[in-house]
Structure 1
């Protein structure tokens, strides 16, 4: 009798498997208790709703009644959405690295009833191919080991869990940090600047980008180049511009402006056609005007819900002439797509990913004087505050039209949303966004985020792992704390920021892929704090006139260590009342711009030329 329990799941990925003959369970203590009672291993299958190879494996294996019967008899089968449960995915990935270098999704892991991984892999075909065993063969080998080599299985699983536990402890305690007030050991500015030379050597001088196939847009790496260029590294901006230009002109960018997850070929050809919110949002922060406008159009037209929030992704597959086909819809001209059903959306709204989109839209909107981008950022922020926060605290990580997930918020949700709200606050002058961000940063720094009970009991909670495609929540939290230090004058925020990213930044000097975002914050921490406050009665980034020219001069000057705030006189008073000391006594002159160091300000500039001169000399 089929006992698939995914029919009521909130996750769109889990619901895609609700019709499988497999007796799927959701991740949680109940599934592992069942395995313990039956004395069988747990199959944990991790993927996400727009994952092409997850769809393939579902059709080939999880829809097979015979495989379903094998799983029913010999395992407890658990399905996990890596977007809903990044904590489970990170822990399982850390363990899977012991068995394969080809990490990705679908991720297939076999665990003891204590949630310790003893074997893992990725996609398995229905029949053996090129030396890769079939999924049936993998299942048979696992069952054989479970029954005939149980002591070895348990010993290996325990050892691997211990290694993961130690790795998590090491990551949480940076070298040389023995306690409060210890020097976090940030890499030197010269060392961080030297990473640009490393990236120049890694550049694909024929096709652009870095490395061979597959080719990823790697937004955090590109944003580091923007930071390094703004910090005076001459080679960084040309490298950034070459990389952005090839992404925009290649098959990786669709005709509607949206960017695919990666290209399967070195020349940026044959995209892997799924389109993720995080890739597109990350590129917004440094893309030139036309490229940013195309991405914003894609977010608005495809991923935006009526309430203003953004869903997670668009699938690689679509149904054409009754057949499920990868990429075909995207290969059609835009005019021909109208008559076809578009690829489905992963309709999950994720707090952290929306924070990344809010940040990118706010930065791009301010830089390019684009009111609509700012409006899109506002509506997304308002939707998340209304639906995912309670009294300023994140209580929902993921939601869909079917309800809110019970998955606990992670550092990704706290950090990325706080950072996005602060960027929106400083460019709109709306202090309420900054107040909410301050609450979130305080939550993130308190160390009280919930840990999944299964991972806690097994000792395998890894915390956030390095990320190559998306800005880290830990890094975002550090950057938000650093911004708050400038706005409030509370130096504890700056100290906390250094502690959060020191280890990641030191690692990033030698291995920038996965740690590049920490390098930009490391530069900011080692530069004198500089604050720029522009007070004008004009609020719109897209308006015209002398006052707007001052605002434009300020937002164009983005470099590590600088925080820029655009406010009206009334808004300046509201910020000061809310405890943001930088804005105290900034409401007397209009227009006026203040260039400050550690909140000690020069005489106010009264026009754009005077401000530009102060910015150049400061």
Structure 2
């Protein structure tokens, strides 16, 4: 038993603790050992619910002969990409220099100072379809390292130089509503007219389909806020997915993606990120049935005893003594009752829980469902308790209350802050808004993790993280990859922008709007050019391009609350008079002066923080 992995906060690493491979977890210790032995480092990156990661583990990492080859010529490092997203981002970018088929398991060979010089993904145990066996790869890499070291060093340096050049980007102006409408229409033009969703020209029946929820959310909001008339494209995509095998007919969750253009033949793992963001898309589409069923999957399957949400549910299960991909999900409810469900990756990822907390808070408010609010509150309390260190540092994840050694990233800070802000508005509990401000603090307007504020027209906006949160990448001087996309969930820059905007909408101060604006300026040009890949960033740009609408209800009248729920708004806060005073006292100016009117519950409809006279009659809303 490899104790270095057995005590990890990652189920993926724990599963590899019984391998004969002498794995190190990600950390400086492995690279120090490689320098001592003057050998390359083999970095294997995957995650707990990855089917082909399981396959390579069974075929290669359980083989004593392969383990001996790795021990003889390499230092081997096992990385959970969900625990160390920055490591995954860095090496995915580097791997693109060597293979066009990026994915997981990701197999990267580096120098002892962490520079990649060769990479691939899954390697079979025997040569297959032009792909060499894993043993052949190990032999070739070791020969290159011992006999052609200059060539290896040159390749590693070239990759670093290319990433440094590609990672540079300049600022631009904030996008206008007209530019955002044009971007939405261009994204909508990629719609698959036959099956819904997105497919390029000439796509055949075997083209994989992903939900791409950030893009769907952008099309919904651009249709409403920028008169782009694109919301129907998003609605059709959602309807097609909901009616297809991509949605589990028994307990409502959506699978990761479909392997065919018509949404059939799903890849059966179910991710927290996909399902949390699909709750928001369903809410905007008026599909309350999908909101409830997807939320049911989160609360019944992914929510852990601690209250936090697991990262994912596996695609594989045991059926008749054999591992089966998807076999469990292909049965009806009665058939499933006879089987052990696929395992969940119980790792509580900070930012992903933020997505779920925010989605459930908004859904609970709009649907008037206190059970969803309670699930969001339970998760928030769990994350704030387990995923923040004793000295106040945000951590990436925890497992069974065991905190990860991985530092929280900008993505975690932004997504959790946005989720906590939504929960504060939904429950009226200012403590969650205060916690959101604290979580975002190191990356916020006065944080110490930022680049220089400089000139507003400069190239270093103050909300751009200056360096990696991961200490090993930072120590090695690993360059940041090109601007991250948010095709499946918000990237780190998008997450920070949305976290800042969530606090600004509650009245935390205009400096939070400026923080978001600085981020959007930096990424706007690429986002406008590639709208399908940058849906979350473009949603942030929409919020900055027009005045926000905020509705505050001093609760006490059910009809008034019901009427308020029907109003499209950026924030709907339902609070008591006492709670409104607590928000105002904590520095959230949206709630200043929000009181009952002549002792009667009242609603305040505000545009860009300027509020109309309060109303007490639901009909007036």
Residue 451 of structure 1: which of 462, 469, 474 is its match? 469
Q: 2:276 aligns with which of 272, 277, 281?
A: 281
Is the counterpart of residue 195 in structure 1 residue 183 in structure 2? Answer: yes
CA displacement at 1:567 relative to structure 2: 1.4
Q: Residue 6 of structure 1: SS of its match in structure 2?
A: helix
Q: What's the RMSD between the two structures over aligned residues?
A: 1.9
The one of 475, 488, 503 aligned to 2:494:
475
* SS of residue in 1 equivalent to 2:245: coil
1:103 deviates by 1.1
Whether 1:607 aligns to 2:595 is no
2:561 pairs with 542, 548, 557, which one? 548
Instruction: Provide the residue aligned with 1:264 in structure 2.
Output: 259
Aligned partners of 1:418 and 1:437 also within 8 Å: yes
User: Aligned-pair distance for 1:579?
Assistant: 1.2
Q: CA deviation at 1:392?
A: 10
Q: Aligned equivalents of 2:187 and 2:253: distance in 1?
A: 26
* 1:402 positional shift: 6.5
Counterparts of 1:5-404 in structure 2 under 5 Å? 5-168=4-167, 170-171=168-169, 174-175=170-171, 184-211=172-199, 212=203, 213-233=207-227, 235-255=229-249, 256-287=251-282, 288-389=287-388, 393-401=392-400, 403-404=402-403
* Secondary structure in 2 matching 1:318: strand
The 8 Å contact of residues 361 and 376 in structure 1, kept in 2 or not, is answered as: yes
Tell me the alpha carbon deviations over residues 382-415 of structure 1, each in whole angstroms, 9 at most, x when there is no partner: 1112222368955322111261111111111111
Corresponding residue to 1:565 among 544, 567, 573 = 573
Distance 1:5 1:383, change over 3 A: closer
Question: Equivalent of 2:603, from 590, 593, 597?
Answer: 593
Could you tell which deviates more after superposition, 577-586 or 442-451? 442-451
Aligned partner of 1:615 in structure 2 is: none
State the Cα distance separating 1:489 from its structure 2 match. 5.9
Partner of 1:535: 554
1:512 has 2:545 as partner: no
Distance of aligned partners of 1:489 and 1:143 in 2 relative to their CA distance in 1, 3 Å threshold = closer
5+ residue gaps, structure 1, are 176-183, 539-544, 612-618
Alpha carbons of structure 1 residues 489 and 383: separation in structure 2 relative to 1, 3 Å: closer
Separation (CA, whole Å) in 1 of partners of 2:548 and 2:211? 31
Deviation (angstroms), 1:99: 1.2
1:143-183 superposed Cα distances (whole Å, 9 cap, x missing partner): 12111211011011022123323444x25xx33xxxxxxxx
Alpha carbons of 1:5 and 1:429: their partners in 2 closer, same or farther (altered >3 Å)?
Answer: closer
Residue matched to 1:498: 517
The partner residue of 2:584 within 576, 592, 603 is: 576
Return closer, same or farther for 1:309/1:402 CA change in 2, 3 Å cut-off: closer
| The 10-residue stretch of structure 1 (140-149 or 246-255) with the greater mean CA deviation from structure 2 | 140-149
Distance 2:402 2:34 in 1: 28
Are the aligned partners of 2:414 and 2:500 in contact in 1 as well (CA < 8 Å)?
A: no
Structure 1 residue runs of 4 or more that deviate by more than 4 Å after TM superposition: 390-394
C-alpha change, 1:101 and 1:467, in structure 2 (3 Å) is farther
Gaps of 5+ in 2: 450-464
CA shift digits 1:61-96 (9 cap, x unpaired):
111111111101011110000011001101101101
- Cα distance in structure 2, aligned partners of 1:553 and 1:340: 43
The corresponding residue for 1:179 is: none
Q: Is the 8 A contact 1:164 1:460 kept in 2?
A: no
Cα offsets for 1:407-439 (capped at 9, x unmatched): 111111111000001111112211111111111
